């Protein structure tokens, strides 16, 4: 099909992003864990993204149905389903972006760290396959605990000799999405215009929204900022409790995952000034991995941006989160180097 028909067809108009006169390169996106609570709506959103030409949906089971279903949507990408480990290589081959929402989610009363034992092993296996089949892909890690699964991925890639810190991302976009929504609600500003950086990590107090840098400005009291910060940090738990044992955030996470993957694709395609927060290898603090604003480009991370001016409350939050984040990072590194 011609580029023109791709960008002017009525079915893609909702997500058209101003590429009408430019060539849209072929891009393959693989979703690992595609039959899950996040995986299915995320696959749907990636099918709606006109930057994607090939969509590979992988899970240990149930992918044929999801792939058949999604493949009937009349948008650009071809959809392929892969089921079971024997098909993982084919799913990954030639992928530009690999999104990983594979693994178990939280139940009420659980922390993200409680998922470590199961998800660490899943992430390890998937990253070994990525190193083998698509070592240059941008990896978007959604599986929790992100504070540990990203360091695990880095270690696995190092062992395979394929590690490129510019290509590994912990997806913290849901924290940003939540911070924007809650800030707009409290500050009575239009939600679509809101920007709030969220830094640190992706669990409890390691999630540090920087409301002092939020735009547009809203006149919020210290008490309101404290409440907003806590609500952002506990946003995941709010959903886990509301779902009462039926999982954690899936729909809002799929949206956030789709926003982040879209930013990665735009960066790969050479769009300018693509900036999103992400948990990446970093020298912004003394911790080896840290979430902050990141400029995305043709090679993945183009630039890890600094924190900017912090309020006293945020400075305090930053110091408080460091020991927990450090220990989650170390736990991931230790796991990856323990398992042979």
Closest CB to ligand NAI among 122 and 208? 122
Which is nearer to ligand NAI, 82 or 211 (by Cβ)? 82
E strands along the chain, which residues?
A: 28-32, 54-59, 78-83, 97-100, 138-141, 168-170, 198-200, 207-209, 274-281, 289-297, 300-304
Q: Which is nearer to ligand NAI, 104 or 160 (CB)?
A: 104
Structure tokens at 239: 């959903």
Q: For residues 39 and 297, which CB has a smaller minimum distance to ligand NAI in the complex?
A: 39
Q: How far is the CB of 283 from ligand NAI (least distance, A)?
A: 23
Dig out the tokens for 155 from the structure: 């270690």
* Shortest Cβ 256–ligand NAI spacing (Å): 6
CB of 104 to ligand NAI, least distance (A): 6
- Residues 273 and 157: beta-carbon distance below 8 Å: no
Catalytic: 133? no
Q: Is residue 254 within a helix (H) or strand (E), and if so which, with residue range?
A: helix 251-268
Neighbouring CB atoms inside 10 A of 190's CB total: 9
188 CB-near residues (< 8 Å, 6+ apart): 218
Q: Which is nearer to ligand NAI, 32 or 95 (CB)?
A: 32
Residue linked to tokens 């738990």: 237
CB-closest chain residue to ligand NAI? 36
Instruction: Give least dist CB 46 to ligand NAI, A.
Output: 14
Q: How many CB atoms lie within 10 A of CB 286?
A: 9
Torsion of CA 33, 35, 37, 39, to 10 degrees: 50
Binding region for ligand NAI (CB under 6 A): 32-33, 35-39, 59-61, 101-106, 115, 119, 122, 125-126, 142-144, 146, 171, 174, 202, 247-250, 253
User: Least separation, in Å, of the C-beta of 334 and ligand NAI?
Assistant: 19
Strand 207-209 relative to strand 274-281, pairing: unpaired
Sign for the pseudo-dihedral over CA of 7, 194, 197, 108: negative
Catalytic site positions? 202
């Amino acid at each position: 099909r011609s580029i023109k028909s791709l960008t002017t067809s009525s079915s893609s108009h909702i997500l058209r992003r101003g590429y009408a006169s430019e060539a849209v390169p072929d891009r393959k996106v693989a979703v690992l864990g595609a039959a899950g609570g996040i995986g299915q709506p995320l696959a749907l959103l990636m099918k709606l993204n006109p930057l994607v030409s090939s969509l590979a949906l992988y899970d240990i089971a149930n992918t044929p149905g999801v792939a058949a279903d999604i493949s009937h949507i009349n948008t650009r990408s071809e959809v392929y389903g892969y089921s079971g480990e024997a098909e993982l290589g084919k799913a990954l081959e030639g992928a530009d972006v690999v999104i990983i929402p594979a693994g178990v989610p939280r139940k009420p009363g659980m922390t993200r760290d409680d998922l470590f034992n199961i998800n660490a092993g899943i992430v390890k296996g998937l990253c070994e396959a990525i190193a083998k089949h698509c070592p240059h892909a941008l990896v978007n890690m959604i599986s929790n605990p992100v504070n540990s699964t990203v360091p695990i991925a880095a270690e696995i890639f190092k062992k395979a000799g394929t590690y490129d810190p510019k290509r590994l991302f912990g997806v913290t976009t849901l924290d940003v999405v939540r911070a924007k929504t809650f800030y707009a609600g409290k500050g009575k500003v239009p939600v679509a215009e809101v920007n709030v950086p969220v830094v640190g990590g992706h669990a409890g107090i390691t999630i540090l929204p920087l409301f002092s840098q939020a735009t547009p400005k809203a006149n919020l009291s210290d008490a309101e900022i404290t409440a907003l910060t806590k609500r952002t940090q506990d946003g995941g738990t709010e959903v886990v409790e509301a779902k009462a044992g039926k999982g954690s955030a899936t729909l809002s996470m799929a949206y956030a995952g789709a926003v982040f993957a879209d930013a990665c694709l735009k960066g790969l395609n050479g769009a300018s000034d693509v900036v999103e927060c992400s948990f990446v290898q970093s020298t912004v603090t003394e911790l080896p991995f840290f979430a902050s604003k990141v400029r995305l480009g043709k090679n993945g991370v183009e630039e890890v941006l600094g924190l900017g001016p912090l309020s006293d409350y945020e400075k305090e939050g930053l110091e408080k989160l460091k020991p927990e984040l450090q220990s989650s990072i170390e736990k991931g590194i230790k796991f990856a180097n323990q398992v042979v």
